[in-house]
Structure 1
């Protein structure tokens, strides 16, 4: 496995939540870290893609518009509130659906081949406990062994 990145260059876990919505804090933290020139370089290629894009689409937001709003400042909670005002409001069922998707992404779905490829690239192919992208990211970024 490649050397671990400097923890100060990493966003939080994809399973962390803002007001009950998984991945949102990671999305905004990636934007902030990138603007500061501190984001782990391996994460640059996926800015606005993959989970970033999917959560924006779920919220009915344009990534670049959200990015501009994040860079204006505000707490994660304020940014999620803005997102719901400029995209679509979420109820508890919406959050349940998104959170289930975010937590299980890579487990027997359209992202499984990507998860498998990344595990091989990082010498983790024998890790049967890594069954979702969230597990992979947490191991890859050093939050989990």
Structure 2
């Protein structure tokens, strides 16, 4: 059985989601990423995260596959894209925690919940909450 990535709530230098994106890259390279994640690598929230950091996703993949800790790679992003301030990280984290709640991703959240048999779970209001249920952490 192939693996799901880390929780979107996992922090790297205070930033959520980044560790999840790197975990997906590593799992995919090891041919151990659950199939339903493979088609969207580098798009969706991965693309938004890389864009927020102003790094090219393909170059990020290359850097991840060279090795190093998540912290090392985030510092590489700061040096090769843009450094984030505490305010930037606060804004990113609060944005990410609310993705899918009354925004352009809401329809996708409804569809994903239905596909996963979670449509009756009203407590799932955001994509990160959906990930927790769909991936078996809740």
Q: Equivalent of 1:16, from 10, 17, 24?
A: 10
| Structure 2 runs not aligned, ≥5 long | none
Runs of 4+ in 1 over 6 A off after TM superposition: none
Q: Distance in 2 between matches of 1:143 and 1:109?
A: 25
Q: Would you say how many aligned residue pairs link Structure 1 and Structure 2?
A: 138
CA RMSD of aligned residues (A): 0.9
Matched, 1:89 2:83: yes
Q: What does residue range 72-111 of structure 1 map to in structure 2 within 5 Å?
A: 72-111=66-105
Larger relative contact order, structure 1 or 2 (CA cutoff 8 Å, min sep 6): 1
Q: Equivalent of 2:24, from 30, 38, 49?
A: 30
- CA drift of 1:50 comes to 0.2
Q: What does residue range 1-145 of structure 1 map to in structure 2 within 5 Å?
A: 6=1, 9-144=3-138
